[in-house]
């Protein structure tokens, strides 16, 4: 459990009394606490952000690998996933203003200077060499990382529902800006549907989607699990879980592009009964009461709502159900580029897990080996050509006892300073 040093001799944890007051005063004083996942002399700083009416501690930009692997703030080296390509360019964090600016590769207004990709289905792999814009997939991956939904521990089994995923994604979207607009104003994630509360849910949804009525060119970003895709009288309709009374119109051209580009994702969804298929896309309201999908990307997630790309990666995640790890995500990286499928946090040192698929070329294999060598982490390999998944590294770091998670407060919370410092 986390411990933080707010001032010399003053240590507190999220279990401390008056924790929110401690954060509030430290926030006003512009104090950057030290995360005591490591000895004080090596402890990395974190910063305090005001998010949705509460204060939260966040790691400083590019500091994730400085935290201990068991720490909630730990993040594997960004080069092991697609995050390294977009950090600092497509994603610009400013701890002093508590905001993060996102540069998106898709339009949220029709007629923007750069038009949407035809049909929108190419968003899954529409990458740019400079990595300066987030595709739809990269936006989903970023929000997932920010929400902590890429982290797993055995205690999460059975506790992640759509309500939890939605809550964490919305919190992750707070304090994010795109084109100077709050991302939360442009993002719609449906709440869990209840027939008993259908009228209230419908009214709240209409309020949230009111932006789409501002002009014919207005767009919003939608994230929701798919229920089914059906033939309609004209074109197709995409029905989403928790939105049974709001099917999305999908014209024939977009439907063709989606089913061709995401054939693998659709096949995995059909074959693996315990998995879900997530949609992230832009939607419009061509007429009252009618909604249309303008661009979309599909992503497979397992029963713990963790994304995966292949059947072999799904098998690996199932084998990790009783382990602590973080999932690597691709962001803008094309499929031919290597990345670590996951990083184990319960080994003596963080261990990166790599899968080399049977159809990988010699160049891809060499690139994966180079990535692993450059990361400085221990590595585990599953070369699918050589057969079944090998044994995983042993769990050598059991979680500490609950009694060790709480540190007593040693003095009163820090008072706001008249001359604030940035720590």
Q: Among 130, 123, 417, which residue's Cα sits nearest to residue 258?
A: 123
pTM equals 0.84
3-state secondary structure of 25: helix
pLDDT class of 199 with cuts at 50, 70, 90 = very high
Share of the chain above pLDDT 70, in %: 89
pLDDT class of 407 with cuts at 50, 70, 90 = very low
Over residues 321-358, the pLDDT tens digits come to 999 999 999 999 998 999 999 999 999 889 999 999 99
Query: Is 255 within a domain?
Result: yes
Question: Residue 109 carries which DSSP code?
Answer: B
Could you give the CA distance from residue 229 to residue 304 in angstroms, rounded to a whole number? 23
The CA-based angle 292-296-297, given to 5 degrees, is: 155
Q: Among 163, 141, 325, 360, which residue's Cα sits nearest to residue 242?
A: 163
Residues present in the chain in total: 423
Q: For the chain, what is the domain count?
A: 3
- Quote the longest CA-to-CA distance of the chain: 70
Element (H, E) at 423: none
- Average confidence (pLDDT) over 180-193: 95
Query: Is 379 within a domain?
Result: yes
User: Is the backbone of residue 77 left (phi > 0), alpha (psi -120 to 50) or beta?
Assistant: beta
Query: Is 17 within a domain?
Result: yes
Is the Cα dihedral 69, 366, 306, 147 positive or negative? positive
3-state secondary structure of 278: strand
Query: Is 62 within a domain?
Result: yes
Same domain, 192 and 284: yes
> Is the pLDDT score of 398 beyond 80?
no
Of the three residues 301, 323, 353, the one that is the final residue of a domain is 301
Same domain, 219 and 183: yes
Residue 131's pLDDT is what?
A: 55
Residue showing tokens 């692997």: 69
Please count the CA atoms within 13 angstroms of the CA of 374 that sit on its side-chain side.
13
Residue 125's pLDDT is what?
A: 47
Residue 76's pLDDT is what?
A: 84
Residue 251's pLDDT is what?
A: 95
Of the three residues 251, 276, 301, the one that is the final residue of a domain is 301
Pair type for strands 220-231 and 187-188: parallel
Residue showing tokens 């207004």: 109
Query: Is 97 within a domain?
Result: no
Residue 243's pLDDT is what?
A: 96
3-state secondary structure of 232: coil
Query: Is 354 within a domain?
Result: yes
- What are the C-alpha distances in Å from 89 to residues 134, 231, 345, 410? 10, 41, 28, 41
Residue numbers of the domain that contains 340: 309-386
Torsion angle in degrees (nearest 10) through CA of 113, 118, 123, 126: -80
Same domain, 27 and 107: no
Could you give the CA distance from residue 118 to residue 210 in angstroms, rounded to a whole number? 26
- Average confidence (pLDDT) over 244-273: 96
Same domain, 133 and 268: yes
Could you give the CA distance from residue 125 to residue 297 in angstroms, rounded to a whole number? 10
Same domain, 282 and 360: no
Query: Is 56 within a domain?
Result: yes
Alpha-helical segments (H) within 45-120: 83-86
Same domain, 174 and 317: no
CB 300 within 8 A of CB 277: yes
| Both tokens assigned to 340 | 């670590």
Residue 146's pLDDT is what?
A: 93
Could you give the CA distance from residue 422 to residue 95 in angstroms, rounded to a whole number? 10
Strands of 254-304 (E only): list them. 276-287, 290-301
Could you give the CA distance from residue 36 to residue 71 in angstroms, rounded to a whole number? 9
Of the three residues 301, 325, 342, the one that is the final residue of a domain is 301
CB 283 within 8 A of CB 293: yes
> Is the pLDDT score of 405 beyond 80?
no
The β-bridge partners of 178 are 181
Distance of CA 402 to the CA centre of its chain: 28
Same domain, 231 and 133: yes
Which has the minimum average pLDDT: 35-44, 100-109, 113-122, 371-380? 113-122
Same domain, 193 and 284: yes
Could you give the CA distance from residue 349 to residue 346 in angstroms, rounded to a whole number? 8
Would you list the DSSP string of 141-159? Answer: HHHHHHHTTTEE-GGGTTT
Same domain, 170 and 47: no
How many C-beta atoms surround the C-beta of residue 214 within 10 A? 10
Same domain, 107 and 234: yes
Same domain, 143 and 279: yes
pLDDT class of 258 with cuts at 50, 70, 90 = very high
Same domain, 358 and 237: no
Q: For the stretch 364-376, what's the b/e string if a residue is b when 16 or more beta carbons lie within 10 angstroms of its beta carbon?
A: beeebeebbeebe
Query: Is 396 within a domain?
Result: no
How many C-beta atoms surround the C-beta of residue 129 within 10 A? 7
């Amino acid at each position: 459990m986390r411990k933080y040093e707010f001032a010399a001799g003053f240590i507190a944890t999220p279990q401390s009394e008056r924790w929110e007051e401690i954060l509030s005063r430290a926030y006003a004083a512009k104090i950057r606490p030290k995360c005591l996942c490591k000895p004080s002399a090596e402890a990395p700083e974190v910063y305090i952000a005001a998010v949705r009416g509460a204060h939260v501690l966040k790691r400083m930009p590019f500091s994730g690998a400085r935290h201990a692997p068991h720490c909630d703030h730990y993040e594997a080296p960004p080069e092991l996933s697609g995050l390294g390509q977009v950090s600092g360019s497509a994603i610009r964090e400013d701890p002093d203003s508590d905001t993060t600016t996102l540069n998106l590769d898709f339009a949220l207004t029709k007629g923007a200077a750069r038009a949407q990709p035809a049909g929108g289905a190419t968003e899954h792999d529409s990458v740019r060499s400079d990595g300066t814009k987030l595709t739809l997939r990269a936006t989903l991956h970023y929000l997932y990382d920010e929400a902590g939904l890429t982290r797993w521990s055995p205690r999460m089994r059975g506790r992640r529902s759509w309500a939890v995923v939605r809550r964490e994604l919305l919190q992750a979207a707070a304090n994010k800006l795109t084109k100077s607009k709050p991302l939360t104003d442009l993002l719609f994630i449906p709440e869990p549907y209840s027939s008993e509360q259908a009228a209230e849910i419908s009214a709240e949804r209409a309020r949230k989607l009111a932006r789409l009525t501002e002009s014919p060119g207005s767009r919003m970003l939608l994230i929701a699990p798919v229920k089914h895709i059906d033939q309609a009288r004209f074109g197709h309709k995409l029905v989403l879980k928790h939105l049974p009374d709001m099917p999305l119109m999908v014209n024939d051209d977009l439907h063709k592009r989606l089913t061709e580009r995401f054939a693998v994702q659709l096949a995995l969804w059909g074959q693996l009964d315990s998995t879900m298929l997530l949609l992230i896309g832009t939607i419009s309201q061509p007429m009252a009461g009618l909604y249309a999908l303008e661009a979309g990307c599909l992503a497979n997630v397992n029963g713990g709502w963790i994304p995966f790309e292949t059947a072999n990666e799904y098998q690996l995640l199932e084998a990790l159900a009783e382990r602590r790890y973080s999932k690597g995500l691709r962001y803008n990286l094309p499929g031919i580029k290597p990345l670590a499928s996951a990083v184990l946090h319960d080994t003596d040192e963080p261990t990166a897990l790599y899968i080399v698929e049977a159809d990988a070329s010699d160049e891809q294999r060499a690139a994966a080996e180079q990535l692993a060598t450059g990361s400085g982490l221990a590595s585990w390999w599953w070369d699918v050509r050589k057969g079944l998944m090998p044994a995983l590294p042993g769990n050598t770091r059991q979680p500490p006892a609950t009694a060790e998670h709480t540190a007593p407060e040693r003095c009163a919370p820090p008072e706001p300073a008249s001359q604030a410092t940035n720590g």
